[in-house]
Structures are given as structure tokens and as C-alpha cells.
Chains A and B, each alone.
Chain A
Amino acid sequence: QVQLQESGPGLVKPSETLSLTCTVSGYAISSGYYWGWIRQPPGKGLEWIGSIYHTGSTYYNTSLKSRVSISADTSKNQFSLKLSSVTAADTAVYYCARSPYYWNCYFDYWGQGTLVTVSS
């Protein structure tokens, strides 16, 4: 059974960098699939942030591309998100998820999500 778990600080100061890690169990990310980040501001809808393939190829939402970096550590079976220059608008629940087939695909396994609040 594939499981994903997000971890990282729940509070980030404005202008700083948000850093989250997703730990995957039950499947080796080096074996394939695409691994992505999606966020959901409180009470609002879902926004895809970006995805990574185990080879290191990355795909980003154009609206966030200048601030986002996604990387993978196959030895730890983890992938990570960095979002720089955060503002209050980046306050959201951040989910990691798996996509089969393509970088732009549906998401079949999700983590439970972690709330990140941007505030001084």
C-alpha cells in the first residue's frame, strides 16, 4: 500500500522560504511514476504546484515557477518542495501526491496534508 507523508515547519515568516518533504512508503520513487505537490488555501480550492519524475525532471505551475523548486532524494525515498519569498497568500494545506503515466495526470495517492501558515 503506497503511503505519503508530508513534513516540515507549520509556520513560515513572510519573505522566507517554505520547505516541505514528502516521505513515500510502500513504493520506491526510483521505480517510476511522477510525484507532485498540490496546495489548498483554507476554505478554497486546489492548485497544482509542480511535479518531479524519479530521473529528476521537473514540471512547474507557470504562475509559481519563479519561486518553486522540487527535488528528489531516491536514497531516502523522499521528494521535497521549496517555495521562496512567501507571503500570506501562500498560507495553505500542502499535499504531496502521486501521478501515474504522465507529469500532468490525475493523482491516485495523496498524503494527509500539512498546514503551512505564513505569518510574522
Chain B
Amino acid sequence: DIVMTQSPDSLAVSLGEGATINCKSSQSVLHSSNNRNYLAWYQQKPGQPPKLLAYWASTRESGVPDRFSGSGSGTDFTLTISSLQAEDVAIYYCQQYYSAPTFGGGTKVEIK
């Protein structure tokens, strides 16, 4: 199985400031056949299911605010929130789908 490691475990950011979440895979999730990274990001608020934010590492899901952006390739990926809003308080997960799906351990984002 591909192991997904997220960092940090948690971070506190002031409203309006940027937040960066890292995700590292134990092997590359870049598929040579189509040059796509098989990596997705989710947001989970308390008592709710995960919500898909982005897939193919950087394609934002419909309706997701453009302050969320995904980047990276191969084994190293980043989710950036450009200007943190109160409603962004949540736990964020990465997931690889290069092979059997596996998720990172999550990063909790709070307001400083």
C-alpha cells in the first residue's frame, strides 16, 4: 500500500493569512501514461463527511472557492489556503488513487 504522510498535524493561522498543508506519498503517484498525479484533497468539518476539494492534485472541484489550490507532483504535494476564512476551520486529508485508495492522517486547521 502507498502510505500518505501529512504535515503538520495541526496549524493555527490568523484570519486572512495563508495556510500550507503538506502531503507526501511513499511512492510516486504520477502516472506516466497520462502525466497525471493521482492525488485528491478533502475538507472535513465536525460531524460532516469529507468534502472533495481537488483531484488530479490541482483540479479544483466545482464550487470550491479559488482560495484553495493544490500543487505538487510525484511524491510531494501541497494544499494552500490563500486567505483563511472562519469557515475553513476543518481537518484536511489527502488521498492517493494511484493504487488502492489510501488517505493521509489529516491536518487540523484552526484560527489563531
A105 to B99, CA, bound (A): 9
Determine whether the beta carbon of B97 is less than 8 Å from that of A45: no
Task: Enumerate chain B residues within 8 angstroms of A97, measured Cβ to Cβ.
Answer: 49
Interface string of B95-112 (1 = CB under 8 A from A): 101111111111000000
- The answer to whether B49 and A104 touch across the interface, beta carbons within 8 angstroms, is no
Instruction: Say if the beta carbon of A33 comes within 8 Å of chain B.
Output: no
Partner pick for A106 among B97, B99, B104, CB 8 A cutoff:
B97
Is A95 a contact partner of B103 (Cβ separation < 8 A)?
no
The yes or no answer to A31 lying at the interface (CB within 8 A) is no
Interface residues of B in 39-83 (CB under 8 A from A): 40, 48-52, 55, 61
Contact A45 B103 (CB under 8 A): yes
A102 to B99, CA, bound (A): 10
Query: Within the complex, which residue of B50, B55, B105 is in contact with A110, where a contact is CB–CB below 8 Å?
Result: B50
Q: Known contacts A48-B100, A111-B49; can you find 9 more A-B pairs with CB under 8 A?
A: A45-B103, A46-B50, A59-B100, A104-B97, A105-B101, A106-B95, A107-B52, A107-B95, A108-B52
Can you name 28 A-B residue pairings with CB atoms under 8 Å? A45-B103, A45-B106, A46-B93, A46-B103, A48-B100, A59-B100, A61-B100, A62-B100, A95-B49, A104-B38, A104-B97, A104-B98, A104-B100, A105-B97, A105-B101, A106-B52, A106-B95, A106-B97, A107-B40, A107-B95, A108-B52, A108-B55, A110-B49, A110-B51, A111-B49, A112-B48, A112-B49, A113-B49
Chain B residues close to A by CB (< 8 Å): 1, 38, 40, 48-52, 55, 61, 93, 95, 97-106
